[in-house]
Amino acid sequence: MAKTLRKPQPRVINPLYPLDLVYRRAGIEPPKVKVVQPSDIPLPYQSLLVHDTDMTLTLERHFGGQVTLRPLSTFTSGSSYFRRVLLVQEYAGQPVEMGAIRIKLDAFSNTLRRKILRNEIPLGRILRDGRFNYSSRVKAYLEVIPNSEMMGVFWMREPRVLYGRRTEVIRNGSKIGDIVEVLPLVIR
């Protein structure tokens, strides 16, 4: 009897991880999401999401000033630290991104670890200022229909399509983190 060889299934990523985990842990249904191609993302979202540079710097350049961090929820599980944050314009307080990260704390020096755990500075700025050698790999671009909680933090009256991305943080060939970033309605 001949055996039928099964083709290995491609690894399916969870496009909202770790944002979905953080929401579910809080008892909130995650937003609806669809994976899209970079060419499907309209401007100005495309220029804000489709690149290999750090999102904090990209947002600061686009909005013309520093962004600050507002922690929404944090927790530790094993050696990983999870946080959901809102990045806002420093000068106006307007939201420019909601993000969720899962990061392996043991990948960082004590100094950087303390800065991350303080939840005062965006991760991109901590890593850039700390000269932390890493790379980000975009795993998926996202079309997001926000849930009511996301609409609230983004000052939205009704659900409208938003865009984001899921990336992995790599250091010395090993994955040390996962990030989901969702942008609010962006006009300019």
State the average pLDDT over residues 78-101. Answer: 94
pLDDT score for 28: 94
pLDDT at 188: 59
**CA angle at 51 for the pair 180 and 114, rounded to the nearest 5°:** 50
CA distance to 35, 93, 125, 167, 168, per residue, from 174 (Å): 24, 35, 21, 14, 10
Question: pLDDT tens digits, residue range 33-67?
Answer: 999 999 999 999 999 999 988 899 999 999 999 99
Query: What is the helix (H) or strand (E) element at residue 32, kind and residue range?
Result: strand 32-36
- What does pTM read for this prediction? 0.90
* For residues 92-103, average pLDDT: 94
3-state secondary structure of 112: helix
Q: How far apart are CA 148 and CA 69, in angstroms?
A: 21
State the DSSP code for 41: S
Domains of the chain with bracketed CATH: 19-183 (3.40.1410.10)
